[in-house]
Amino acid sequence: MTRFAAPIAEQIWDMKYRFKEADGTPLDTTVEDSWRRIARDLARVEDDVDHWENVFYGALEDFKFLPAGRITAGAGTARKVTLFNCFVMGTVPDSMGGIFDMLKEAALTMQQGGGIGYDFSTIRPKGADVHGVAADASGPLSFMDVWDSMCRTIMSAGSRRGAMMATMRCDHPDIDDFITAKSDAARLRMFNVSVLITDDFMEAVKANGSWDLKFDGKVYKTVQALDLWNKIMQSTYDYAEPGVIFIDRINAANNLSYCETIAATNPCGEQPLPPYGACLLGSINLARLVSDPFGDAAKLDQDSLTELVATAVRMMDNVVDASKFPLPEQEREAQNKRRIGLGVTGLADALLMVGQRYGSDEAARQTEDWLHAIARAAYRASVQLAREKGAFPLFDADAYLASGTMQMMDEDVRAEIKEHGIRNALLTSIAPTGTISLYAGNVSSGIEPVFAYAYTRKVLQKDGSRTEEEVVDYAVQMWRDKMGEAALPDYFVNAQTLAPSDHVKMQAAAQKWVDSSISKTINCPEDISFDEFKNVYMQAWDTGCKGCTTYRPNDVTGSVLSVSDDSANKTDATAPEVVTHDDAEPMQPHGDVIYMQDPLDRPEALEGSTYKIKWPDSEHAIYITVNDLVTGGHRRPFEVFINSKNMENFAWTVALTRMISAVFRRGGDVSFVVEELKAVFDPRGGAWMNGKYIPSILAAIGGVIEQHLVATGFIAGEGMGLKSDPQAEIIGMDRPKGKACSSCGSYELRMVEGCMTCASCGYSKCG
């Protein structure tokens, strides 16, 4: 008997979490092997290893406790990877040398699989004086572009996809540019961006008062606070970014406000962190803890919950000691504070099982009660660990208990902390769980509502045949198993039918007992008015949320997972073909250009030109030949050859030749290749060529190809190429709504907890 509740769960395990040799040979034969691997690794720091291995295995068994993906994939593999998902990096100095030192640290962290967050408010605004060099500053946005290029470079080297968060204070002089940066679809693609909103600013917004934009004590400009707020709202209404982080509220509530100041978060926003802070994540699967689901006595098993939380806290505390860290500063920060982020998933399913409608007042009260029980259990477990192993090194009882969060904690828990200390400075957080929720049998994600109760995915098999596979929400499948064909009760609601205010109500209810923050998306209908949209953010502020992220589908952001017109009743969704094998390539939609199913044929002879690049400090030149195909009297690029006597470059030049030529031969407007190459940044440094700074050899090659495309009339001039791969109709099938997943090609992207996430393969922009 398989432990997996659905085929997609086993596929996710095999693709994401199963331990394999480098050649793909599985070392985890079953999912039980994966659980045992994790349990054994996290128990090795204990005195009684065998006992705790079995306890930890019991928590993992049947997907009751779900460590975050880094832990599930990396624990017990002996690989040089971090088990921490994300990091906030050090404070960015306002100096060229310091900025590029930070860039190097970011590259090293991302190379090991960690997402990063940065506050760019510390960099002087565009046009400010740069003392000693008689120049004007280029501003923080220009350096964010460098970070963006670095992230893409790390990805192109085969590392885990990059995830970055950039924040900027609402009083920074360049805040206007920051707010609108993502309106350019080709810019800052590797970043999520959020504005740090202060209490003073919100008071000024409500009073329609003035607001100073300042840096280093100098006021650069004074604006109306409401006008700036409306710019933030308009941008997120149109482009789904920036998000909003209520930074003063975060610092006031922080248990560690006496020894740290927070100015940034991890990429999904659920972990506000100090410089070099790290987020260690895991989730209690509430859907597995409901007894008598859909029955008269349905309830969450509180005893099982308390026991599971205590085990999970111990496991996560052990990760601090078992994990590797990209930087020593990150390890020191983690050891000094032992911060963990225990959250939940399957909340919406659990509510359905006990007969409650997500978004109702009753469901909000129930959510608050469940999160209160988790917080109590977590803090008491951490106190017990402190008695056994010692409190975190920076613990100061009086200062700790005086923080905003701890002042509302139960008196008996406060008394225990006062007497014995506490092992972990912060304990709770609700993180994105898109992939691990699929792995756990397609339970509802985090504290999100169910997105669609069922949808169909088409899977290409190895023999070339196609099969249809229904993916059903965990609670819906449980209803079917128990009730047969009986219609779903009216309390079954989903993300398509909920009012935005219901989303905010649930986030606020959960936030009361979460000491860090929450990653959640407030789904808004496409036709919501701008004033109603702004009210969502004001409701989030008024009800005590620490931040707010919305998603409104439109022509710019794209739709999400297409749901049938009668979804309010059927809640079925149909998605196009999903290709699950690497040797089969899905056709993707790309703009108004028709892309060929078969590549263009090569004539016997082609016209072309050869160009020479002499990279400084390189012994041998690189020769680039671009051959063109003439169609309809116009020349278009067909193939590229890159040659050099330097054998160190042989492998990558051959690979580049083949990849660029393959793209050119598919037809359509392929000028985006130029822009992709020109954006590649070499961390070792670029070079000055013909009076222009070129960030890498690859960027130089892109410039040569661009020169050729201009000369042949394929593009109008330098910088006129497409900024990204365009969208197009697909021959032979109707174009589905929304964007295709960049990992598997399916059209099952949905906004989950602040990140576009694929329901089919589990890909997430935020990792």
Query: For residue 464, how many other CB atoms are within 10 A of its CB?
Result: 7
Contact yes or no for 292/256 (Cβ under 8 A)? no
Token pair of 166, please? Answer: 């950039």
Half-sphere exposure of 165 (CA within 13 A, CB side): 31
Q: Which residues contact 259 (CB under 8 A, 6 or more apart)?
A: 394, 396, 399
Which helix (H) or strand (E) element contains residue 238?
Answer: helix 225-239
Strands (E), 521-598: 522-523, 547-548, 550-551, 572-579
Contacts 24+ apart (CB under 8 A), 16-22: 16/69, 16/72, 16/73, 16/435, 16/439, 16/762, 17/69, 17/72, 17/73, 17/439, 19/73, 19/76, 19/77
Do the bridges between strand 341-345 and strand 454-460 make them parallel or antiparallel, or are there none, so unpaired? Answer: unpaired
Q: State the catalytic residue, choosing from 270, 416, 676, 706.
A: 270
**Active-site option among 86, 151, 268, 524:** 268
DSSP 294: T
| Count helices and strands in the chain by DSSP H and E runs | 24, 30
Q: How far apart are alpha carbons 513 and 374 in whole angstroms?
A: 8
Cα(214)–Cα(121) distance, integer angstroms: 10
Q: How many CA atoms lie within 13 A of 18 on its CB side?
A: 19
Tokens read off for 57: 């295995």
The answer to whether residue 270 is catalytic is yes
286: left (phi over 0), alpha (psi -120 to 50) or beta: alpha
- Which one from 192, 255, 266, 318 is the annotated catalytic residue? 266
User: What is the CB neighbour count within 10 angstroms for residue 209?
Assistant: 13
Neighbouring residues of 463: CB distance < 8 A, sequence distance ≥ 6: none
> How far apart are alpha carbons 270 and 303 in whole angstroms?
27
Known catalytic residue at 268? yes
3-state helix, strand, coil in the chain (%, to 5): 40, 20, 45
What are the residue numbers of the active site?
A: 266, 268, 270
